[in-house]
Amino acid sequence: MTRIDLHCHSTASDGTLTPAELVRAGVAAGLDVMAITDHDTTGGWPAAAEALPEGLRLVRGAELSCRWHGASDYPIALHMLAYLFDPDEPRLAADLARLRTDREQRAEKIVAKLSADGVPITWNEVYGYAAGGSVGRPHIAQALIRAGLVRTTSEAFASRWLGARYFVPKADLDVFEAVRAVRVAGGVTVFAHPRATSRGRVVPDRLIVELAEAGLFGLEADHEDHSPAERAHVRALADELGLVVTGSSDFHGTHKTVQLGDFLTAPESYEKIVSAATGVPVLG
């Protein structure tokens, strides 16, 4: 059986393995196909491609930070997996650059708030954890763990710390604009963990219907943050709308307990994604 994991993060965003280490870990985990999908960046693509082991196919992608503004009270955040798009397409490249800049500025503001309250972490330390990649809250969590204030990344994301008291909002792409931009760049989009109620508010099914009409290609059903009932709901909705279904680990290294290959995508869904994309080819 072909083992396919289409949602993996490296140190180019908030994972703990470098892109080169990530692809080598993919082979060690018995994967045949893996995707590198760092948050709002393609920065890990070259190193992953250069280190790609023989026998492993690499899907180049990104996880885009999006918002839906149709809620009655305030926008809902959601993540869109974008696969095999042209990273040099001007519109999408500009969107990604803006998101990365905002992520860094947001992280600086959070560190400043923590420092103002006497928390012993510095911007230089947090920036160093990102190792030149896209700075995110998990890098601040690393600093909090180092300072002995929390034991885990999950604890750092609780309301006492980054979840509420030191929370700073960030700019995101309008979800419809994101889907359209990825299509223009020759890629395809899959809605990441769309029913993960454990993460907070989720969008209604009517939005997914509208996104499908706008060009959404698939839904991620098998994910650690989906209950069995939520996975079944996503599969049924995808079947109704003619969308592909994926399953992925959402691997972040030691930031999360899930391991590469814990959730997989069926080969037929993978082949549909590859056939529909025209931006960049699968490597390997």
CA distance 148 to 55: 42
Q: What is the rounded CA–CA span in Å between residue 264 and residue 267?
A: 9
Specify whether the CB–CB gap between 104 and 199 falls below 8 A.
no
Q: How far apart are CA 59 and CA 40, in angstroms?
A: 16
Radius of gyration of the chain (CA): 18
Q: Name the pTM for this structure.
A: 0.92
**What is the model's pLDDT at position 170?**
85
Question: 């959070």: which residue's tokens?
Answer: 110
Query: Identity (one letter) of the amino acid at 140?
Result: I
CB 37 within 8 A of CB 29: no
Q: Going from the N-terminus, what domains does the chain have, and what CATH number goes with each? A: 4-91+175-276 (3.20.20.140)
Residues 224-249: pLDDT tens digits? 999 999 999 999 999 999 999 999 99
38: nearest Cα among 48, 25, 26, 52? 48
Which positions of the chain have pLDDT values less than 50?
Answer: none
* Per-residue model confidence (pLDDT) at position 71: 74
pLDDT at 1: 85
DSSP states of the chain as a string? ---EE--B--TTTT-SS-HHHHHHHHHHTT-SEEEEEEET--TTHHHHHHTPPTT-EEEEEEEEEEEE--SSSS-EEEEEEEES--TT-HHHHHHHHHHHHHHHHHHHHHHHHHHHTT----HHHHHHHHTTS---HHHHHHHHHHTTS-SSHHHHTSTTTTTTTT------EEHHHHHHHHHHTT-EEEESSTT-GGGS----HHHHHHHHHHT--EEEEE-TTS-HHHHHHHHHHHHHHT-EEEE---B-GGGSS--TTSS---HHHHHHHHHH--SSPPB-
